[in-house]
Amino acid sequence: MPDPVVDPRRHARKTLGVVRREKGGFWIAFCAVFFYPISWLVARSRFEGKEHVPSTGGALMVANHLSHLDPIFSGLVVHRARRVPRFLAKHSLWRAPVLGWALAGSGQIPVYRDTADAQQSLREGTRALEDGKVVVIYPEGTITRDPDGWPMQARTGVARLALSTDVPVVPFVHWGTREVLDGYNKTFRPLPRKPITIRCGEPIDLSAYRGLPIDAAILREVTDLIMVRVRDLLAEVRGEQAPAQFYRRSAS
């Protein structure tokens, strides 16, 4: 029998270890068309550590939150790693024209904080991880109020997600986005283009917590462990000493 015909392009991809891009559909392509040019226009971007984003399977990506620009750069670092990002984002965004369609069409996950539907968001996030998706979360719940831009004390939902499935938990950080768009001071300074760094770190080892009964103490401990890794990664990017304690927002 004659030898089977081998597609040389497929053979080359396999030999070189080239990973196929995860399919995202129309709305992911639509967002990419807008977000890549925006990132070029407002920033001199550096995307570091993309090799820490798993090429296949579920992953929980955990980031600090400096600016309302962060989701653009979070999405781009995941997309440049050839994966499709699924964000946990506040549900009110789904009411915005066009943006709401893009969020729904691309499989993003609405978060209903402080409501009876809050647990639904975690269930949807867990389901996405179990289905092999990359889920992006900002555990602080909003852009940081720390005057120096360090992470605040985080909500424990990130620990629930991290312990709900045995997927890699990858810390990553943004630095420089607040210099372009500062939400609290209501300033937008796109020019001159600012340096922005997005860096992914090595997955966090949570093996010591797997299989333990989940209670409030465990959730707080795991949340703080994850956020310490995020804070330390940010300190590396900034070349500064991180504060010993997390900033706490006021009760008001």
Give the C-alpha separation, 167 to 34, whole Å. 30
Give me the sheet containing 59-63, strands edge to edge. Answer: 43-48, 194-200, 169-175, 59-63, 134-137, 85-90, 109-111
User: Which pLDDT tens digits describe the chain residue by residue (252 residues)?
Assistant: 444 454 544 444 444 455 677 777 777 887 888 888 988 998 999 999 999 999 999 999 999 999 999 999 999 999 999 999 999 877 767 767 667 667 777 678 888 766 566 677 788 889 999 999 999 999 998 999 999 999 999 999 999 999 999 999 999 999 999 999 998 889 999 899 999 999 999 999 999 998 888 899 999 999 999 999 999 999 999 999 999 999 987 654
From first CA to last CA, the distance across the chain in angstroms is: 78
* Residues whose CB falls within 8 Å of the CB of residue 21, separated by 6 or more in sequence, listed in order: 82
For the chain, give every domain's residue range: 42-238
Q: Is the peptide bond before 192 cis (omega within 30 degrees of 0)?
A: yes
Structural domain 42-238, CATH architecture: 3-Layer(aba) Sandwich (3.40)
Beta carbons within 10 angstroms of residue 195's beta carbon: 11
Spatial separation of the C-alpha atoms in residues 66 and 197, rounded to whole Å: 12
pTM for the full predicted model = 0.86
